Amino acid sequence: MSGYHHLAGVYAAAITPLKPDYSPDLENLPLLLDFFTRRGCHGALLLGTTGEGPSFAPRERLDIYRTALEVQRTHPDFHLLAGTGTPSLEETIELTRSVFDLGFDGVVVLPPYYYRKVSDDGLFTWFREVIKRGVPADGALFGYHIPQISGVPFSIDLLARLKDAFPDRFTGLKDSSGDPDFARQLGDRFGSDLVVFNGNDRLFTDALQAHASGCITAMANIRSPDLRQVWDAHLKGKTDPFAQGRLSTTRNVMDRYPPAPPLLKALLARWHSFPLWSVRPPLLPLDEGSMVKAVLELSATGSTKTPLSS
């Protein structure tokens, strides 16, 4: 991947395996990550939105992070990113520092999402403290831009301030806005200086053409082979409209059955023989009728037949 950051590539925004009592299924987490390695992923993000990150206490998060590292015994080049953003400045700093102490490759940090009408100055100050106190000199912090969920967007100017102030440690952004104009603005303003991970499968090809460095998506739990085909074609200076088309149609179906974690867990159980993992309240399992409808719609897109399958 000449010319790209060493963390560039295709990442699964991993679901979090849970037992029926809602506790983390730590025994099966390394098996899920191993599954991703065999499906073309370069890495995984733990405890992001798809991983139900805000639903877990710091102690539980650290247990999950430690367990995830087991995948690197057999796949040392598989990158691990951790979601560490919370509304609490001190908790975010402690989690971030602990993740780097464990040996993770980077963190993906939501802005503090309780106060929704804060200024760029306030957000800059918050991230400045997280980076100064939580991120080592060789660490990589990615902002998490998902304003439709967090209610707190990253402006282009805020990103520029953070990159200027911390050119090495503020590495980039996970852009899950689904806004093609914002993706183009990122490319126009930063080129490849800011490592941008696309978070919307429909926009993957367009984002790559706007200097994105890969993707971190929920759909990578089940569709990473197509994401990898789009990425590999891009590295050759080409596009793969057929793989991109499957991604777009699959995403259209999935968006009709929100939120993503219950559907993804049901599909992983049905298609790949994983346990039918729980979701943590307030999320609820997908009802059987919706599951049948979703499978029928996804089957029509070819989503049950992919290369690199286990």
H or E segment at 231? Answer: helix 220-235
Annotated catalytic residue: which of 11, 65, 144, 257? 144
DSSP E strand stretches across 134-292: 141-145, 170-175, 195-198, 214-217
From 114, 115, 125, 238, active-site residue: 114
Please report how many Cα atoms fall inside a 13 Å half-sphere around the Cα of residue 62, on the Cβ side: 13
pLDDT by position in tens, the chain (length 310): 568 999 999 999 999 999 999 999 999 999 999 999 999 999 999 999 999 999 999 999 999 999 999 999 999 999 999 999 999 999 999 999 999 999 999 999 999 999 999 999 999 999 999 999 999 999 999 999 999 999 999 999 999 999 999 999 999 999 999 999 999 999 999 999 999 999 999 999 999 999 999 999 999 999 999 999 999 999 999 999 999 999 999 999 999 999 999 999 999 999 999 999 999 999 999 999 999 999 999 988 765 544 444 3
Q: Is 74 a catalytic residue?
A: no
Q: Does residue 49 have an active-site annotation?
A: yes
Tokens of 266: 């049901």
Domain ranges of the chain: 9-237
The CATH code of the domain at 9-237 is 3.20.20.70
- Active-site residue identified among 171, 174, 205, 306: 174
pTM greater than 0.85: yes
